[in-house]
Amino acid sequence: MSDPVAKSETVLALPSNMMPSPVTFKGHTCSSLSVTYISRRKLVEVVDGLLGVMTPSSTCTKPYVHSGSDEVAADDTWMAKCPSALASFDQIIANAHGKKIALFLDYDGTLSPIVNDPEKAFMSPEMRTAVKNVTKFCPTAIVSGRSRDKVFEFVNLKELYYAGSHGLDILVSSTASQSKTNDDTEVKLFQPASEFLPMISEVNKSLVEATQSIKGANVENNKFCVSVHYRNVDKKDWKLVAELVDNVLKDFPRLKLTTGRKVLEVRPVIDWDKGKAVEFLLQSLRLDDPESVLPIYIGDDRTDEDAFKVLRERNCGYGILVSQVPKETEAFYSLTSPSEVMEFLNSLVRWKEEESPKVHDQE
């Protein structure tokens, strides 16, 4: 499915203070800030379930290990560190008093459940309604590892901003924030890794060929990144998938590997992630004033930690982790499932609806 029809298309420039620092690596120009590689040993350990072996620059979420009588204490520690966003809703909106909320949402595992077939990760009609309603009061963006086209196909709401491929493909439409007719719609694109498109296409083809003999393996081309899903692969073959991916990447030194929930993701080696995407959107939409805007980011994956970290370091806004188990995280609050995410969004809408008459009365 293509993007909403636009009358004009503009390529957004990257603010000077967010430009990656170029260096040379094996004859290739790339960013120096997050250039990291995962050795075959570490890669195999990661897909074998040993989550504590990510590279130092990666922000990972490692489940606490507890059993028996330690379980209650661990859960208490977890809830003290990352309390429920629903139970803490009054505190959140108290800090949002007099401010506009800018909302950022991951897709898989946040708005839709995690499913075995990535092509069937549909959000419920009730969730779509909740997201649509919240956009009436809060500028809202979807920030997903999926391709921008694919996540738009799933969400199918023109009221939102979309950042696909972990923020490497950002769409900003003026109709989302301005009162314009469809004929006046202006679409602005930001794609900091556009030069990598031919390379991504080539590595996608190589990965499809390399994994085609592995039952259950699924390679998804997300335009600016390639996802190798092994959720449906027999566990005894996980290491083989890792080795095959590692072998392919040896021919692509300008691409790096990150991991998600039962997925290996191949991305360009540039200093860009979901956190950078959030910063870019806040600046582009003129929502980066901490005195007047409270950003909230809701996500469930390791890649969302980059956005949580940005909000924590800005000392402005809240990350909300969606997880049923305790995890190390940069988020301030937690929710357990997409159904709780929907409840949180509906609570925001009810609060805004109750607040609106008071604002009009004051005017």
Q: Between 33 and 143, whose confidence is greater?
A: 143
Question: What length does the chain have?
Answer: 363
Collapsed DSSP state (helix, strand, coil) of residue 70:
helix
Q: What is the rounded distance in angstroms from the CA atom of residue 245 to the CA atom of residue 30? A: 21
Is pLDDT at 307 greater than 60 in this prediction? yes
**What is the bridge-based pairing of β-strands 8-11 and 186-190?**
parallel
Structure tokens at 99: 């401010």
- Structure confidence at residue 173 as a pLDDT band (50, 70, 90): low
| Confidence (pLDDT) at 118 | 87
Helix (H) or strand (E) holding 348: helix 338-362
Distance CA 334, CA 47 (A): 25
Q: Band of the pLDDT at 74, cuts 50, 70, 90? A: low
Q: Which residue has the higher pLDDT, 310 or 41?
A: 310
pLDDT digits (tens, 9 = 90+) for 114-125: 998 888 999 999
d(CA 141, CA 104): 5
pLDDT tens figures, 83-140: 999 999 999 999 998 899 999 999 999 999 999 888 899 999 999 999 999 999 999 9
pTM of the model: 0.77
Closest CA relative to residue 121, chosen from 147, 103, 102, 140: 147
In 3D space, the residue among 323, 315, 307, 273 whose CA is nearest the CA of residue 84 turns out to be: 323
What confidence category does residue 73 fall into, taking pLDDT thresholds of 50, 70 and 90? low
The secondary structure of 106-155 as a DSSP string is --BTTTB---SSGGG-PPPHHHHHHHHHHTTTS-EEEE-SS-HHHHHHHH
Q: How does pLDDT run across 268-290, given as a tens digit for each residue?
A: 999 999 999 999 999 999 999 99
Instruction: Tell me the C-alpha to C-alpha distance, in Å, between residue 137 and each of 5, 40, 179, 203.
Output: 24, 47, 14, 41
Give Cβ neighbours of residue 90 (< 8 Å, ≥ 6 apart): none
